[in-house]
Amino acid sequence: MAKRDAFLVRMDPAIINALKKWAAEELRSVNGQMEYLIRDALRKEGRLPKPKSSQDTN
Protein backbone atom coordinates (compact mmCIF):
# COMPACT_ATOMS: atom_id res chain seq x y z
CA MET A 1 0.00 0.00 0.00
CA ALA A 2 1.21 3.51 -0.78
CA LYS A 3 2.41 5.69 2.07
CA ARG A 4 -0.19 8.17 3.28
CA ASP A 5 0.44 11.51 4.94
CA ALA A 6 -1.76 12.72 7.78
CA PHE A 7 -2.81 16.30 8.45
CA LEU A 8 -5.23 18.13 10.70
CA VAL A 9 -8.29 19.85 9.22
CA ARG A 10 -10.33 22.33 11.20
CA MET A 11 -13.92 22.78 10.03
CA ASP A 12 -17.18 24.25 11.18
CA PRO A 13 -19.12 21.64 13.19
CA ALA A 14 -22.09 21.92 10.80
CA ILE A 15 -19.85 20.96 7.87
CA ILE A 16 -18.41 18.02 9.80
CA ASN A 17 -21.90 16.79 10.73
CA ALA A 18 -23.08 17.02 7.13
CA LEU A 19 -19.94 15.20 5.99
CA LYS A 20 -20.50 12.43 8.56
CA LYS A 21 -24.07 11.95 7.36
CA TRP A 22 -23.02 11.90 3.70
CA ALA A 23 -20.20 9.45 4.41
CA ALA A 24 -22.61 7.11 6.23
CA GLU A 25 -25.03 7.22 3.29
CA GLU A 26 -22.19 6.35 0.90
CA LEU A 27 -20.92 3.58 3.24
CA ARG A 28 -17.57 5.34 3.64
CA SER A 29 -15.62 6.61 6.61
CA VAL A 30 -15.42 10.38 7.01
CA ASN A 31 -11.76 10.19 5.99
CA GLY A 32 -12.65 8.11 2.95
CA GLN A 33 -15.42 10.54 1.98
CA MET A 34 -13.08 13.52 2.26
CA GLU A 35 -10.45 11.79 0.13
CA TYR A 36 -13.10 10.86 -2.45
CA LEU A 37 -14.37 14.45 -2.66
CA ILE A 38 -10.91 15.98 -2.89
CA ARG A 39 -9.73 13.43 -5.47
CA ASP A 40 -12.87 14.02 -7.57
CA ALA A 41 -12.41 17.81 -7.46
CA LEU A 42 -8.73 17.49 -8.42
CA ARG A 43 -9.61 15.13 -11.29
CA LYS A 44 -12.32 17.46 -12.62
CA GLU A 45 -9.90 20.41 -12.58
CA GLY A 46 -7.17 18.40 -14.31
CA ARG A 47 -4.85 18.72 -11.31
CA LEU A 48 -4.55 15.05 -10.38
CA PRO A 49 -1.64 13.22 -12.02
CA LYS A 50 -2.81 10.27 -14.04
CA PRO A 51 -1.69 6.91 -12.59
CA LYS A 52 0.97 5.08 -14.57
CA SER A 53 -0.37 1.94 -16.21
CA SER A 54 1.53 -1.34 -16.12
CA GLN A 55 1.98 -1.04 -19.90
CA ASP A 56 4.10 2.11 -19.49
CA THR A 57 6.87 0.08 -17.85
CA ASN A 58 7.36 -2.20 -20.90
Q: How many domains does the chain have?
A: 1
Entry pTM: 0.75
9-39: burial string, b at 16+ Cβ within 10 Å, e else: eeeeeeeeeeeeeebeeeeeeeeebeeeeee
Residue 55 is assigned to a structural domain of this protein: no
In the predicted structure, residue 32 carries a pLDDT above the cut 60: yes
The secondary structure of 4-30 as a DSSP string is: ---------HHHHHHHHHHHHHTT--H
Residue 42 is assigned to a structural domain of this protein: yes
Mean residue pLDDT of the chain comes to 89
> Model confidence over 2-28: pLDDT tens digits?
788 998 999 999 999 999 999 999 999
pLDDT of residue 50: 79
The residue segments making up the domain with residue 40 are 13-46
